[in-house]
Amino acid sequence: MTSTNYDPRVLKALHPVPGAPDNWKRFFTFNTDAKVIGIQYIALALFFLLVGGLLAMVMRGELITPPADLVDPTVYNGLYTMHGTVMLFLFLFPILNGFNNLLIPTMIGAPDMAFPKVNAAAFWIVPVFGVVLLASFFVPGGPASAGWWSYPPVSIQNPLGHFINGEFLWILAVALSGVSSIMGAVNFVTTIIRMRAPGMGFFRMPVFVWTAWAAQTLQLIGLPALTGGAIMLLFDLSFGTSFFRPEGGGDPVLYQHFFWFYSHPAVYVMVLPVFGIFSELITVYSRKPLFGYKFVALASFVITFLGLIVWVHHMFYSGTPQWMRNIFIVTTMLIAVPTGVKVFAWLGTLWGGKIRLTTPMLFVLGGLVNFILGGITGIMLGTAPVDIHVGNTYFVVAHFHYVIFNTIGFGIFAGIYHWFPKFTGRMYYEGLGKVHFLLTFIGATLNWLPLHWAGLYGMPRRVASYDPEFAIWNVVASIGAFMVGVAAIPFILNIVSSWARGAKAPPNPWNAIGLEWLLPSPPPAENFEDDVPTVISAPYGYGLGQPLVEDEEYYVRRALEA
Amino acid sequence: MTSTTPRPSGGLPVRLLLIVLAATLLDALASLQIARASLGWLPVPASTAAPYVDQLFQLEVGIGAFIFLGCSGFVLWAVLFNRAEKYDESDGLPIEGNTKLEITWTLIPFVIVMVLAYQAIHVSETLSALGPKAKYDLEGGSNPVSVEQLDPIRNYGPIQVISRQWNWEFIYPNGVRSSELHLPIDQRANFQLSSEDVIHGFYVPAFRLKQDIIPGSVISYSITPTREGRYRLRDSQFSGAYFSQNQTDVVVQSQEAFAAWLEQAARNPLVPGLSPATQLYQDRLSKGDKGWATVKPAPPPLVNDPGIPDAPHEA
Amino acid sequence: MTTTNPDLQLNHRPGHIKHDGHNLTGFIIFLCSESIIFLAFFSGFALLKITAPEWLPEGVEGLETRLPLINTVVLVSSSFVAYFAERYLHKENLWGFRALWLLTMAMGTYFVYGQYVEWSELPFSLSSGVFGGTFYLLTGFHGLHVITGILLMSLMLYRSFLPNNYAKGEMGVTAVSLFWHFVDVIWIILYILIYVWQRTT
């Protein structure tokens, strides 16, 4: 079959056809193919990464000097609020759902998600609330500007008194995001429970699937609490109730419980799949089985469980009584144990391996080292006396950016490079990838490492201006931030040009073990269709010489010939 | 899970053990140095809480540095010595795990974090800065300061701390009002923290103490300053447009100087207190009210001592 | 798809993955998640009630319990009716199913009507402090679920008239009746919290 000779019916197909003209148009349709939806999620999320990143550039421009001189303080407050909201709800959650869409069905051998239409609907809610959120820049009074925590009473002050205001749109956007996430979570969990390939018991699932499952379980349990809190906040803002208004007998701290009951676990929702990506990539690029696979897999659910009972550590200084602080100090400390199990397992996997420092592996190792630092500062923040000093300062900002960008962001970049050939059918450019890594790593380190000291010295977070003694750390941080901004250029260049004219990717360019690598690159619409491999061994059998599935050679040949 | 004991392919285990021992020693020495240096990363300690917090911080920095350097060193070592040669497509050692090792590295972190938790709880209870919190009816007009929630072991107070968007007001037991917080050294001072609008944070970095102020509640809070000087008091919980300007100073004085100040202040007439936001808001209005919406700043409180806004602070 | 090497296909047994039957799993997962919203509201209600300096707004003595009790009895019994409707469906007695199903819907509708009557006679509003806010929020949010349940039931009733609709099992009916039991259990907790636990310390 020559590459130009397509059946006209194929060209009308909803899903992209490798090499066919006008493929890009299919990404703008209500497509129910999980792989198309996955790419839709990732592309849209990367667009919002740019938006959130630009907001951050303005913020770091403002913070390069002590006084609030670049933008008005009210504008700064709106910018930092939107930066956080865009990055979390429009970049991180969607992009990880993109990975879930691409990887869960292909890794477990399912043809698609359990509910493809729900899946597509969940995706299309994202651009809708993205527009709602961005529209809030243009309503009178400006966007929400009480931070992504949106703590009342400051968030419900509504200075202009309009019914449609920035905060109103913000709550609406967050609620829509919640609906989309729950639709996604029901879908992912059902798919994992019910649609695994024959022979794939739970302890033969790749760790990414385990972590996605653990993360989505957290969504299902945590997100409704935030939804409840958001509904009450909306009523307080717009309909005259006083759940959180002290004037009517309400309690502002109650909102904080609702908020953190979800928003602390939300960090695990984001970091768990990245732990999964780390586990997948470290094994491939060290050519070794995952050290203590079962421990690593189960640790995901231990994190899920503990993640649900640590939220009050965000409220140590909110008037929380001592007995409650003590309980949450202990639970917060405990979460270091399953996390440590994972970190040590990765180190054990590296040991004696045949390490290949490709771009994805560089991002994984960089992310891993950053995560160890971010984890340690996390433990420090879990001990109440230290938290009471550094809480709500730049130490916290530095800590969570080490987790959210320097770990999760790095893991996401690693994942994009690693699975790029699989889902686009093209190889990326290694040189550009390495430039991207170097710029990002150096920039991110310059950006967030010095801010720890600013915080230790007492610089509060969320300030538009600050005392001159904090200037030195902020200058370095701003330079680092601009470097991270510049790093987007090689990344975009790489993705766009390699997708357009990169070398054709073989089915298994990394010589990796996993069901997704038994599929052609890119996989056909229904993955294995009605000929799903039967799994006969645990994942990551590098060097063990056992086939992963029955008749492995047949599937390898089939993928090559597709 | 098959339990394969990792055996190095080349060299004796003795050599490996020596390397590990040397690396651990080096790691320990380096972390000790970092822990020593870490006290310099904090502002001057100026309250009884500071030494406790600083020691706990130092302990955590030491342990954290040991783990961080150990793990990162290991990654570096693996990257340097376990690299695949170019065109080497073979696999590494097929080690699937080691149950004993995994149990060890589950238990050791467990012990470490429990020790830290114990220390943290111990320090937290020793400080006992936070007293009871009482809700009061804002509309019912009940008195926010009720006697039973005063700190029984206080030496001085209660000082009423009133936070607003965006200024601070301090009212002393003799009725003196000020914009800067004056405190006598070595006296456990009790505060009644209240807010008139949104949540604010009462944060003095030199004291290592921070407490959110919840509107609708009065929180009893106690601090013993231990070092004379002028320190920053910052609003630490985001409170709207001019949040970053909502800061003032704490002046810790000898007991005689404090008494003299209090006496002097009582004779001063009431003048508008420190409120940088008021001026900034005026500037904004004069420039055509550009920017995004904000509530109007509360008018500056009338105080006996408006303080010295530009005086240099130590931390 | 064809392979050119027949040797490889020899003895090959293609595996399969079931394509249907996930709906109930998905629905149960969704219900578990949904219950957390109510849990959040309930715990918020309890916390606000325990800590409020003044719970009842001025001029309000408490809530009338007689009408809500009748409502409760009707709603709870409707769950049993729905159960028997489902039994009829299992026995393929379509008319028995339709009759009892319609009765369930009628009882649900009566409940919503009862709620409407109660709401319209109350001396306080949504903005009457935390008491008013939580009352209307909890009962209103639950009421929305009851209405959703009735709408879903009418959909199932309509589907029972489509030929061969239950050939592949009656997943939809099972799911809706599960939802109805869920709404009932929520109401029982809500009734205890709001109407039975009236005294404040």
Pairing relationship of beta strands B200-204 and B177-178 according to DSSP bridges: unpaired
**Does the residue C18 lie in any domain?**
no
Helix (H) / strand (E) containing A103: helix A93-108
Query: Least CB-CB distance to C126: which of A240, A254, A553?
Result: A240
**Helix, coil or strand: residue B7:** coil
In order of A35, A543, A552, the CA distances from A31 in angstroms are 9, 40, 31
Length of chain C: 201
Q: Which residue in this structure is represented by tokens 């090792």?
A: B101
Can you tell me the distance from the alpha carbon of A215 to that of A226, in angstroms, rounded to the nearest whole number? 16
**Which residues on chain C are in Cβ contact (under 8 Å) with B142?**
53
**Alpha-carbon radius of gyration of chain A:** 23
Cβ neighbours for C105, distance < 8 A, ≥ 6 positions apart: C150, C153, C154, C157
The residue among B238, B278, B281 with the most chain A CBs within 10 A of its CB, best to mutate, is B238
- What is the distance between the alpha carbons of residues C85 and C160, in angstroms, rounded to a whole number? 12
Domain membership flag for residue C25: no
Nearest-CA distance C122 → chain B (Å): 23
Report whether the peptide linkage leading into residue A149 is cis, meaning its omega lies within 30 degrees of zero: no
Kindly state the average pLDDT of the residues C102-108.
97
Q: Is residue C188 part of a domain?
A: yes
Test mutation, A241, A528, A548, chain C, max C CBs within 10 A = A241
pLDDT at site C90: 86
User: Alpha carbon of B30 to those of B26, B59, B80: distances in Å?
Assistant: 6, 14, 21
Mean of the per-residue pLDDT values of chain A: 94
Is C126's Cβ below 8 Å from some Cβ in A? yes
The three-state secondary structure class of A8 is helix
Q: Which of residues 229-288 of A touch B (CB under 8 A)?
A: 246-247, 249-253, 286-288
What CATH number is given to the structural domain containing C139? Answer: 1.20.120.80
The beta-strand segments (E) located in A16-153 are: none
Of B296, B214, B138, B192, the residue nearest A153 (C-alpha): B214
Assigned CATH for B130-303: 2.60.40.420
Give the residue-averaged pLDDT of A219-228: 95
Question: Which among B61, B74, B197 has the least Cβ separation from residue A347?
Answer: B74
Write the ipTM.
0.93
Neighbours of A46 (CB within 10 A): 19
Q: What is the pLDDT of residues B65-114, one digit of tens each?
A: 999 999 999 999 999 999 988 888 888 888 888 899 999 999 999 999 99
Which residue pairs from A504-508 have beta carbons closer than 8 angstroms and sit at least 24 positions apart in sequence? A504/A425, A504/A426, A504/A427, A505/A421, A505/A422, A505/A424, A505/A425, A505/A426, A505/A427, A506/A421, A506/A560, A507/A556, A507/A559, A507/A560, A507/A562, A508/A556, A508/A559
- Could you tell me if residue C187 is inside a domain? yes
**Which DSSP state fits A289?**
P
Tell me: the pLDDT tens digits for B273-310? 999 999 999 999 999 988 999 999 999 999 999 999 88
Contacts of B137 in chain C (CB under 8 A): 53-54
Rounded-to-integer distance, Cα A183 and Cα A203, Å: 26
Band of residue A101 on the pLDDT scale cut at 50, 70, 90: very high
CA distance A469 to A481: 20
Q: Which two tokens stand for residue C166?
A: 């239950």
| Count of beta carbons in the 10 Å neighbourhood of residue B285 | 11
Max Cα distance, chain B (Å): 87
Instruction: Establish if C40 belongs to a structural domain.
Output: no
| Residues, chain B | 315
Neighbours of A402 (CB within 10 A): 26
The whole-number pLDDT of residue A109 equals 94
The residue type of A526 is E
CB count in 10 Å sphere of residue A34: 26
Cβ–Cβ below 8 Å for A558 and C3: yes
pLDDT surpasses 80 at C112: yes
Tokens, residue B199: 């949540």
CB spacing of B140 vs C52 below 8 angstroms? no
| Chain A residues close to C44, C-beta within 8 Å | 228, 232, 243, 254, 258
Domains recognised in chain A with CATH numbers: 32-561 (1.20.210.10)
Q: What is the per-residue pLDDT for B234?
A: 96
Asked whether the bond before B166 is cis by omega within 30 degrees of 0, the reply is yes
pLDDT in tens, B117-156: 999 999 998 887 777 777 776 554 445 555 456 777 888 9
Quote the tokens at residue A410: 């790095």
Average pLDDT over residues A478-489: 97
What sign has the CA pseudo-torsion A177, A179, A185, A187? negative
| SS3 state of residue B97 | coil
Domain count, chain C: 1
Return the SS3 of A111.
coil
A window 152-211, beta carbon within 8 A of C: 182, 185-187, 189-191, 193-199
The stretches of A136-199 forming alpha helices (DSSP H) are 166-194
Q: Are B128 and A323 in contact (CB under 8 A)?
A: no
- DSSP single-letter state for residue A355: B
Residue C152 domain boundaries: 76-201
For residues B192 and A5, the model is more confident at B192
- Residue window 207-246, chain B: list those with CB within 8 Å of chain A: 208-212, 214-217, 219, 232, 234-245
